[in-house]
Amino acid sequence: MTQDHLNFIFIGISFAIYIGIAIKSRAGSTKEYYTAGGGVSPLANGMATAADWMSAATFISMAGTVALSGYDASRFLMGWTGGFVLLTILMVPYLRKFNKATVPDFVGDRYYSKLARGVAVGCAIFICMTYIMGQMRGVGVVFSQLFGISITSGVIIGGAIVFFYAGLGGMKGITYTQVAQYCVMAFAYTIPAIFIAMALTGNVLPQIGLISDYTAGGEAIPFLEKMNNINTELGFAEYTSGKLSKINMFCITAALMCGTAGLPHVIVRFFTVKNVSAVRKSACWTLLFISVIYLTAPAIGAFARVNLIEKLHDTSYQEAPYWLQEFEETGQMAWIDKNNDGKIQYYGPSKSLAGSHAVFQGKKPSYPNLEATDGQLVGKHGQRLLANKVDTSNPNELWFGNDIMVMANPHMAGLPMWVIALLMAGCIAAALSTAAGLLLVLSTSISHDLMKKILKPDLSDKEEVRYARVASFLALALAVYFGINPPSQFIAKTVAFAFGLAASSFFPTLLMGIFSKRMNREGAIAGMLCGILFTFGYIIYFQFLDGTPDQYLLGITPEGIGFIGMLINFAVAFLVSAFTPAPPQEVQDMVENIHIPSGSGEASHH
Amino acid sequence: MKDAPSHFYRRACLRLVLGLLAVWFSVSFGCGILFREWLDAKAPQIGSAPFGFWMAQQGAIICFVILLVVYAVMMNRLDAKHGYTEGQ
């Protein structure tokens, strides 16, 4: 049995399970469509939220980011988990008590304004759209590798599957499918890590392996010391030290945390459970399930880096392991023999005067087109040749994408085939679960917040669900389109947007709405607009216009600017509300009321 | 709405939330970012990992989980004390 057959079997079985669950638990009413009828158990909701939260990018690239940047990657590890603490103790119990189906609903009612609701709907749609594009692309890439089809058909197949169970099943169908998907993801992520930890350090738990001794190379040496030695020897920054400035690190982490706490598609997950006390319990489960993956990622990253360097650096190409050629085929690794010695050299930026370790010019490898002769396609050692110009300012010869750290890990460690098949299934589960959750929030935002609450208030329940289904179809069609034609680097850059936007718009607005009785319509709208405009302007200037790094405000990169935008939002909101009339009495009573946990009733949307 | 029990309840909740936020800030931003170098050098190592580095990559996440468990338990206790518990 070949690897391909095993991959098909694993993915086929997992799909059969997802679709079976989706059909069995499809939604019948609007209530079930939006919030699964409000009766999901905290444990199931925790798993589903964890699956929803961890996207294909998290699953595939995070360990790679840790491997490349060591300490600096902690901003993602802390940012994306710490946000759940804010989310749980400051937001969701109160929003659940408020008892509405969507986040713009709360904003609209709390600030008694259609404009505020409109701004919130706009932000929610933008954030979800940004995310879902990346997911569709991810599904397409994995499918194309698996079945040997083009990325275009991969994206279309993925889109069809997501539509089938998200559009039909609604929140109820999605929630139970995601439970299954979480299980697949967790096993797929941790099992290879356990095998590798045993091989490298003799410990079963990867987390313990990370802080104990490296034993695979004969004498035992502390693992992280080994990492630091390798890194400095090859000309990289010390693994445990990092390169980012303190203030930048602080702002990025804070922006990611506050952004997480303001993401509408995460918040609505907690509307599916029975009452406020179940929300708290469910949040514990969610973070616990997420931390299983997040605590493993640093270990996987570090192990993969040691493995990669030990296996490839200063090895002649002909003796290099088989997977190098496989990844060259898919364009995820590349080798250029700069010094013509037939050996692979891997060096960091401090080995050259220019301070770079680029192998070639340009961001990604490009290859000669089909008409090229054999001499242009294959080098004298059998390596795949690139069309890029060689960067001769440094001695580094090896290029690899972030994504391969997770995907190549089992190959590098020589793990059995079924582990690789499981990993493929996990990766697809990660992409599908996130895409489905986002699609639902997107369609709800359009049908409920935009159509029913703003444009057509006399919509019946049935029509609303129909609108939601049409909206999810259109949104998915758009996402598939952008998945096939990604606006160049756009998707990666817009991730900064999504978090910056959530941190500078939803987080402060919701927080003030919950904790300040005095905060009024004028303050909230002014604050939101200032926060968004500042963050947007900064990101657009540096990502899409010609801003250069030396113009950064206090050295803060666009990734972290959402934190400053958030502070601006708070400041403006308090200032404006101090000079404008207090909100009406019934709104103040409402704020008082959401702090009393009992009587939240069933989640509804009226 | 401004009856005395709910007032006490809210004060207690606020104290709990602020306390947890203080811990949240010090384990992540404090240990993992602001005082990392100092902790790397002076604090005892976790296994073979420098303390600040370990906090940033592992410790903070573990603390977050514990924080949420504490929050759920304490809030449920507060609810019960003030009679806001609902049937499970």
ipTM confidence score: 0.89
Inter-chain residue contact A593 with B79, CB threshold 8 Å: no
Q: Write the pLDDT tens digit of every residue in A315-336.
A: 777 777 777 777 777 777 788 8
Residues of B in Cβ contact (< 8 Å) with A517: none
| Nearest chain A CA: its distance from B22 CA (Å) | 12
Q: What is the CA radius of gyration of chain B?
A: 18
Q: Residue B35: give the domain boundaries.
A: 24-81
Residues of A in Cβ contact (< 8 Å) with B88: 277
| Nearest chain B CA: its distance from A326 CA (Å) | 32
Query: Minimal CA–CA distance to A438: which of A561, A430, A157?
Result: A430
Asked whether the beta carbons of A587 and A112 are under 8 A apart, the reply is: yes
| Residue at token pair 């692979």 | A344
CA separation for the pair A406, A293 (Å, rounded): 12
Other CB atoms within 10 Å distance of the CB of residue A361: 10
| Residue at token pair 């997802």 | A18
Question: Between residues A303 and A142, which one has the greater pLDDT?
Answer: A303
Token readout for A112 is: 């008694």
- B interface test, pick of A74, A246, A257 with most B CB neighbours within 10 Å: A74
Inter-chain residue contact B68 with A597, CB threshold 8 Å: no
> For A341-364, what is the mean pLDDT?
74
| Residue at token pair 């006390």 | A277
Residues of B in Cβ contact (< 8 Å) with A287: 64-65, 68
- The amino acid at residue A179 is V
> Does any domain span residue B53?
yes
Asked whether the beta carbons of A97 and A106 are under 8 A apart, the reply is: no
**Range with lowest mean pLDDT among A29-43, A108-122, A201-215, A471-485:** A29-43
Q: Write the pLDDT tens digit of every residue in A496-507.
A: 678 888 888 888
Q: Is the pLDDT of residue A555 over 80?
A: no
| Residue at token pair 């996987």 | A300
Model confidence at A29, in pLDDT bands (50, 70, 90)? Answer: low
Residues of B in Cβ contact (< 8 Å) with A291: 61-62, 64-65
Which residues are B46's β-sheet partners? B49
Chain A CA closest to residue B54: A211
CA separation for the pair A182, A126 (Å, rounded): 26
Q: Write the pLDDT tens digit of every residue in A437-491.
A: 888 888 877 877 777 777 777 777 777 777 777 888 888 888 888 877 766 555 5
Other CB atoms within 10 Å distance of the CB of residue A567: 14
| Nearest chain A CA: its distance from B86 CA (Å) | 6
Inter-chain residue contact B33 with A88, CB threshold 8 Å: no
**Residue-level pLDDT at B52:** 82
Model confidence at A289, in pLDDT bands (50, 70, 90)? Answer: very high
Model confidence at A353, in pLDDT bands (50, 70, 90)? Answer: low
Chain B CA closest to residue A80: B61
Grouping H, G, I as helix, E, B as strand and the rest as coil, residue A399 is: strand
> For A212-236, what is the mean pLDDT?
74
Token readout for A496 is: 């900064």
**Residue-level pLDDT at A604:** 43
Q: Is the pLDDT of residue B88 over 60?
A: no
End-to-end CA distance of chain B: 25
**Residue-level pLDDT at A603:** 46
> For A333-342, what is the mean pLDDT?
78
**Residue-level pLDDT at A223:** 74
Question: Between residues A8 and A568, which one has the greater pLDDT?
Answer: A568
HSE (side-chain half, CA atoms, 13 Å) at A157: 17
Model confidence at A605, in pLDDT bands (50, 70, 90)? Answer: very low
Token readout for A307 is: 């493995």
**Range with lowest mean pLDDT among A39-43, A52-56, A362-366, A423-427:** A362-366
CA separation for the pair A257, A245 (Å, rounded): 18
> Does any domain span residue B41?
yes
B77-82 contact pairs (CB < 8 A, 24+)? B78/B9, B78/B12, B78/B13, B78/B16, B79/A277, B79/A597, B79/A598, B82/B5, B82/B6, B82/B8, B82/B9
Domain count, chain B: 1
Query: Minimal CA–CA distance to A260: which of A430, A75, A445, A403?
Result: A75
Q: Write the pLDDT tens digit of every residue in A385-414.
A: 777 777 777 778 888 776 677 777 777 777
Q: Report residue B30: phi and psi, to 5°.
A: -65, -70
HSE (side-chain half, CA atoms, 13 Å) at B53: 27
| Nearest chain B CA: its distance from A303 CA (Å) | 14
Q: Is the pLDDT of residue A194 over 70?
A: yes
> Does any domain span residue B55?
yes
Average pLDDT, chain A: 79
Report how far apart, in Å, the C-alpha atoms of A69 and of each of A105, B48, B86 are: 41, 19, 48
- B interface test, pick of A76, A85, A226, A241 with most B CB neighbours within 10 Å: A85
Strands (E), B15-86: none
> For A77-99, what is the mean pLDDT?
86
Which residues are A399's β-sheet partners? A334
| Nearest chain B CA: its distance from A363 CA (Å) | 28
Assign 3-class secondary structure to A395-418: CCCEEECCCHHHHHHHHHCCCCHH
CA separation for the pair A8, A90 (Å, rounded): 44
CA separation for the pair B52, A318 (Å, rounded): 42
8-state DSSP, A360: B
Q: Which residues contact A17 (CB under 8 A, 6 or more apart)?
A: A180
Model confidence at A568, in pLDDT bands (50, 70, 90)? Answer: very high
> Does any domain span residue B16?
no
Structural domain spans, chain A: 3-308+417-594, 348-395
Residues of A in Cβ contact (< 8 Å) with B4: none
**Range with lowest mean pLDDT among A9-23, A103-117, A233-247:** A233-247
Question: Between residues A568 and A476, which one has the greater pLDDT?
Answer: A568
CA separation for the pair B45, B38 (Å, rounded): 12
Inter-chain residue contact A240 with B40, CB threshold 8 Å: yes
Q: Is the pLDDT of residue B14 over 70?
A: yes
Residues of B in Cβ contact (< 8 Å) with A74: 32, 53, 56-57
Q: Which CATH class is domain A3-308+417-594?
A: mainly alpha
Token readout for A254 is: 């804070």
CA separation for the pair A399, A217 (Å, rounded): 25
Report how far apart, in Å, the C-alpha atoms of A568 and of each of A521, A530, A535, A562, A576 are: 17, 7, 10, 10, 12
Q: Is the pLDDT of residue A91 over 80?
A: yes
Facing B68 at nearest CB: one of A224, A257, A284: A284
CA separation for the pair A179, A599 (Å, rounded): 28
Facing A88 at nearest CB: one of B48, B71, B79: B71
Assign 3-class secondary structure to A15-62: HHHHHHHHHHCCCCCHHHHHHHHHCECHHHHHHHHHHHHCCHHHHHHH
Inter-chain residue contact A82 with B33, CB threshold 8 Å: no
Q: In this structure, what is the dihedral angle of CA atoms A251, A252, A258, A259, given to the nearest 10 degrees? A: 140
> Does any domain span residue B15?
no
Q: Write the pLDDT tens digit of every residue in B17-61.
A: 899 999 999 888 888 888 887 877 777 877 777 888 888 888 889
Residues of A in Cβ contact (< 8 Å) with B10: 595
Q: Is B70 on the interface with A (CB under 8 A)?
A: no
DSSP string, A102-117: SHHHHHHHHTT-HHHH
Inter-chain residue contact B86 with A275, CB threshold 8 Å: yes
Q: In this structure, what is the dihedral angle of CA atoms A551, A556, A560, A564, given to the nearest 10 degrees? A: -90
Other CB atoms within 10 Å distance of the CB of residue A1: 8
CA separation for the pair A261, A341 (Å, rounded): 52
Asked whether the beta carbons of A119 and A450 are under 8 A apart, the reply is: no
Facing B72 at nearest CB: one of A90, A284, A598: A284
